[in-house]
Amino acid sequence: MTQTAAPVESAAQVAGRRVRRWRGIVLPILALAVIAVLLAALRPEPTGGYLDPESPGGNGTRALAEIVRQNGTPVTVARTAREAASTATRTTTVVVVRSERLTKEELRRLASMPGTLLLIEPTDAALKRLAPGVTRATTAAADFAVPGCPLMEGTGTVAFGDSQLYDAPDQAVTCYRDPEGNRGRLVALGESVSKPVTVLGSGTPLTNDELDEEGNAALGMELLGGPGGVVWLMPDLPTEDETGDASLTELIPPGVPLFFWQVFIAVVLLALWRMRRLGPVVTERLPVAVRSAETVEGRARLYRAARARDRAALALRESARERFVPLLGLPRSAAADPGKAEQVTALVTARTGWDAQTAGWALYGPDPGDDAELVRLTDLLDDLEKRLL
């Protein structure tokens, strides 16, 4: 039974097969990208910023500001530290939120202004400048906390949500402590600093959505109900001239490098798990019979595409010598022995009647200079084979 060769795929068929292979991966990625762009474009504009006393949104604090005003305490909104400093007096409570927007110069201005400071979720730089001795320790999960201190005993239980816990100096008052009683969500500095400073680890109890939970409103009134009024500093983003001199690495949160290190380690472990050791080359029988002419034509096309006339001529001469040498009565090893070149040429000349120069060029000559010379060499070797047979 004769086996036929498999049909050769065209370039278009190969390209189509590759497209179908990658289509299942590329199309979902493109779909996710389009969905992400559409969601970003269709996302409604926020009605206000987090802890903004003028925002009626869920994360704003307009409700608390109105309650404080109704109880006789004026609330003034400032958008820069300079504006807050010009409004504050010795009896004013200055509320500082979004301290990550404050520059070093603005923090120095806040430290020198009169009044009481209330820092809500301050950054490390703000703590160091405005509340010396208070440091961030860890984050407490969303839960309820009781005051545990005389300063806030009238507020009752407060629904803090996720909150920052602080380590404080011995002379500070610490409220809403963790279960171990070591760290608090609220720290009040009095005699240890030049003016009263209160640090609150979460602004969630003061927002519009959470103000009616447990003792959240009582906490807000206790913090903002002073007789001298409230200046609520909600800073705008600093301009290019006001930005600090911190480097890019200083601005990156500590958890970001750790995240990339984890991803890198996971990729390395995955590569080690998936990689395979290369074993020896395994020869396999072709599933179909391939005609020798197809192999010759395929190799010839490769030689032609690479303009490898030297390799083509060498292959023709080597195969011709291997066929001719046994017919001349010489061992087969003489075909590849350069020392036998004169003897092989002499025997070929004697058998065919060719001159020694033509026979030597055909079997051991230099590389052809062009395609025409390569064709001439092929014709000579064919004629030589006919004469010897």
For the chain, domain boundaries:
62-237, 294-388
pLDDT tens digits in sequence order for the chain, 389 residues long: 344 444 545 556 656 666 666 666 777 788 888 887 887 666 554 445 889 999 998 899 999 999 999 998 999 999 998 998 888 888 899 999 999 889 888 999 998 888 899 999 999 999 999 999 899 988 888 778 898 898 888 888 999 888 999 999 888 999 999 888 788 999 999 765 678 899 999 999 999 999 998 889 999 999 997 778 999 999 887 665 555 556 677 667 777 888 889 999 998 888 887 776 566 667 777 677 777 778 778 888 888 888 888 888 888 888 888 888 888 888 888 888 888 888 888 888 888 888 888 888 888 888 888 888 888 888 888 888 888 87
Long-range contacts of 99-106 (CB under 8 A, 24+ apart): 99/123, 99/125, 99/126, 99/235, 101/235, 101/236, 101/237, 101/238, 102/126, 102/235, 102/238, 103/238, 103/242, 103/243, 103/244, 104/244, 105/242, 106/80, 106/81, 106/82, 106/235, 106/242
Nearest to 299 by CA among 105, 94, 308: 308
Q: What are phi and psi of 33, to 5 degrees?
A: -65, -45
376 DSSP 8-state letter = H
Q: How many angstroms separate the CA atoms of 156 and 218, rounded?
A: 8
For every residue of 34-66, DSSP letters joined together read: HHHHHHHHHSPPPSS-TT-TT--STT--HHHHH
Q: How many angstroms separate the CA atoms of 48 and 55, rounded?
A: 5
